[in-house]
Chains A and B, each alone.
Chain A
Amino acid sequence: GQNIDQPTEMTATEGAIVQINCTYQTSGFNGLFWYQQHAGEAPTFLSYNVLDGLEEKGRFSSFLSRSKGYSYLLLKELQMKDSASYLCAAMDSNYQLIWGAGTKLIIKP
């Protein structure tokens, strides 16, 4: 079956760094997405990885290892506004997104 696993909740301190992990199992693979979702709002796109390695985009970076079925989202210099849920989603061979349940990130001052 198809499955995405990510931690339910994480807590970090303002200004610090946090890494949110995601493991996936899909029928075929056409890339791994990370989305940010604030409560009551739709997800917003953060990153896309289809090749192994690290993609850096400002304070956010995303890593992919296809052989391990593993990805992480790295957030640096955390700000209070980064408090949100972070959704990992893998695209299968039919180009459909398989969603994780999301990781709620709590930022403390």
Chain B
Amino acid sequence: GAVVSQHPSRVICKSGTSVKIECRSLDFQATTMFWYRQFPKKSLMLMATSNEGSKATYEQGVEKDKFLINHASLTLSTLTVTSAHPEDSSFYICSAISTSGGDYNEQFFGPGTRLTVL
């Protein structure tokens, strides 16, 4: 199956700093990548949809200037959490859809990044 990687897997940072999370599709090209956030014992919350070469589409309530998304190529999308605060601590997961499509646009998930803001 298709493989999606995320880096870093775990990051601890001080309040006020910025953190960049990378999401890569390793063996396929992804026209669309999604960024999710997950709080403990909660469902995945879609933050934004990232399309290669265009601006990301953010879900209602997600601050565009705080969560910067760049989808510069068909294999890489980045999420930058700017001026991080403790409430930004969460599990961030990306997923990607292959350009080859398929019957149902299956999303392939990265392993997730655990962000802890002190």
Mark A residues whose CB is within 8 Å of B: 4, 30-31, 40-45, 48, 50, 87, 91, 95-97, 99-102, 104
Contacts of B41 in A (CB 8 A): 101-102, 104
- Report yes or no: A91 in contact with B104, Cβ–Cβ below 8 A: yes
- Identify which of B45, B49, B104, B107 contacts A50 (C-beta below 8 A): B104
Contacts of B42 in A (CB 8 A): 101
- Report yes or no: A30 in contact with B104, Cβ–Cβ below 8 A: yes
Count chain B residues whose beta carbon lies closer than 8 angstroms to a beta carbon of A: 19
Q: Which of B66-74, B78-86, B108-116 contacts its partner?
A: B108-116
Contacts of B104 in A (CB 8 A): 30-31, 48, 50, 91
Mark B residues whose CB is within 8 Å of A: 41-46, 49, 91, 93, 103-107, 109-112, 114
- Report yes or no: A42 in contact with B112, Cβ–Cβ below 8 A: yes
- Report yes or no: A97 in contact with B43, Cβ–Cβ below 8 A: no
Complex Cα distance A91/B41, Å? Answer: 22
Query: Could you name 28 residue pairs across A and B whose Cβ atoms are closer than 8 Å?
Result: A4-B43, A31-B104, A40-B112, A40-B114, A41-B111, A41-B112, A42-B109, A43-B44, A43-B93, A43-B109, A44-B109, A45-B106, A48-B104, A87-B43, A91-B105, A96-B46, A96-B49, A97-B44, A97-B46, A99-B43, A99-B44, A99-B45, A99-B46, A100-B43, A101-B41, A102-B41, A102-B43, A104-B41
Contacts of A44 in B (CB 8 A): 109
Contacts of B112 in A (CB 8 A): 40-42
Residue in B closest to A9 when the chains form the complex, CB atoms: B41
